Structure 1
């Protein structure tokens, strides 16, 4: 009798970004924690907050690889 392989959850890439449900859940979680924010609720883009810089560094993420932009 053969076992069915375990189903795996996808972590989709969209161009150079993490997409799909995982990307959505991460964005929601980071916003709720105050690691990312929008200047106004209607803005399309988030920015990394000072708290986010500290917390992402604790996770070992090198945020210096992200270029600054005028948002």
Structure 2
């Protein structure tokens, strides 16, 4: 007996966007210089000045983001 496995391109999560959509958005944010890392080995990102401008244009309230 075989199982049919459906791969989802987006996965709902409580505190982030998961799945392929999340991966694609993160790649775009990095490629467009909206997000950067201070240390390549660190898992945390910071929002660049360009990112602050662009996220604000999209209607995000960055004052709600905590470090």
Q: TM-score, normalised by structure 2?
A: 0.78
Q: Which residue in the other structure is 2:47 paired with?
A: 48
Which structure has the larger Rg? 1
Q: Which residue in the other structure is 2:34 paired with?
A: 35
| Cα displacement (A) at 1:14 | 2.8
Q: TM-score, normalised by structure 1?
A: 0.74
| Cα displacement (A) at 1:37 | 0.5
Aligned equivalents of 1:59 and 1:13: distance in 2? 21
Q: CA RMSD in A?
A: 1.5
After superposition, give the CA deviation of every residue in 1:36-62 in whole Å (9 maximum; x if it has no partner): 000121111111111100010111111
Q: Which residue in the other structure is 2:58 paired with?
A: 59
Q: Where do 5+ consecutive residues of structure 1 fail to align?
A: 1-8
> How many residues were matched structurally?
60
| Cα displacement (A) at 1:11 | 2.7
